[in-house]
Amino acid sequence: MNIVVAKISEEEGLSLQYVFPEGEPALVGEEAGLIGRCELNLRATRAGDEVELIGSVNAAVGFECDRCLKPLSVPVEQSFDLLYVPPLKAGDERELGADDLSTGFYQDGTIDLDDVVREQVELALPMTRLCTEECEGLCPDCGGNLNDAECACKLNRADERWAALSELKSKLN
């Protein structure tokens, strides 16, 4: 979904409430995906070529735990305040300041709201995606989920770093 910058009234702005079709917009990569419908509430104001977008995104995101691969669902409620400007012309130079970190560029007089939503959802997701902080993950030998039960592999496995000492001990006995 796109907003045409020229159609945003400088006096009145533009208010938008939009519910995306289920699973859209698709997130980048295959690690996570939107579950159900994503809702966008937005207020756009324009001053010349500059467009300010203030709004929120509400969605649910599904992914697998990084340690045990258990499927998870996380609600996302993300607010944003972004400034969009046209791209710089060739040869134009500008020093970036701290405020420019929330500045985006639009192409061909339109702002792609799918990209805005995708960015906000991905920014809201945790870097480490765990079912619980205490998640023990999967057994490296048999692949069993160590959160469900302790597997026999763990009981019989010796630490490889001590293997040389174990061999020495068996030779001495």
- Across the chain, which has 173 residues, the per-10-residue mean pLDDT values are 90 93 83 89 93 95 92 93 82 66 85 92 89 90 86 68 82 80
d(CA 77, CA 11): 29
| pLDDT for the residue 20 | 93
Token pair listed for 140:
């490296």
| pLDDT for the residue 94 | 66
| pLDDT for the residue 54 | 95
| pLDDT for the residue 46 | 93
Query: For the chain, what are the domain ranges?
Result: 2-135, 138-173
This prediction's pTM: 0.74
| pLDDT for the residue 169 | 82
Backbone angles phi, psi at 117, to 5 degrees: -65, -45
| pLDDT for the residue 38 | 93
| pLDDT for the residue 53 | 95
